Amino acid sequence: MFNRILVVCTGNICRSPMGEGLLRKALSSNLDSQDKAVLSAGLSALVGYPADEQAQRLMIEHGVDISDHRARQIDIDIINWAELILVMEREQKLILELDYPSSRGKVFRMGKWGGFDVPDPYHQSNEMFELAFDLIAKGVSDWEIKLGEGAIK
């Protein structure tokens, strides 16, 4: 089982904070969740910025408060800290593995099990945020099942 999970997107203000919040919520129902830690970061983070207002609103509607989130830039320390890294898009996986060779083997797409990428809703409509949320929620659900089975392939 993975105890330290990192969720990554581009700016760390929309998708990865939503993924971080949903993963924390999912793992909190696990009996041994006190040993779990979930963080997020961005490949081109808007460092110090809070989560996008639309992302915060959607998360509150689903019982998760991400208002304390502040964007952070990915770096080698957080890469080394993470046991599992979940990205939103295929290209992000390639970028991480190229820029941080030590990440190879622990970077997967949030939508790995469903075969999908999560499109960036930044500066998009409410519908795009809802689509991103729904895909992230599906990815979190799939990962929760797979992590429970211990299946990473």
Are 95 and 73 spatial neighbours (Cβ–Cβ below 8 Å)? Answer: no
The answer to whether residue 4 is catalytic is: no
Q: Choosing from 4, 117, 120, 142, which is the catalytic residue?
A: 120
57 tagged catalytic? no
Among residues 9, 14, 24, 109, which one is catalytic? 9
Active site residue: 15, 24, 72, 109, which one?
Answer: 15
Q: Taking the alpha carbons of 131, 42, 116, 30 in that order, is the dihedral positive or negative? A: negative
Look up residue 73 and give its two tokens: 């830039």
Based on the number of CB atoms within 10 Å of its own CB, is 33 exposed (0-12), middle (13-18) or buried (19 or more)? middle
How many residues are given for the chain?
A: 153
Q: Is 9 a catalytic residue?
A: yes
Q: Which residues are catalytic?
A: 9, 15, 120
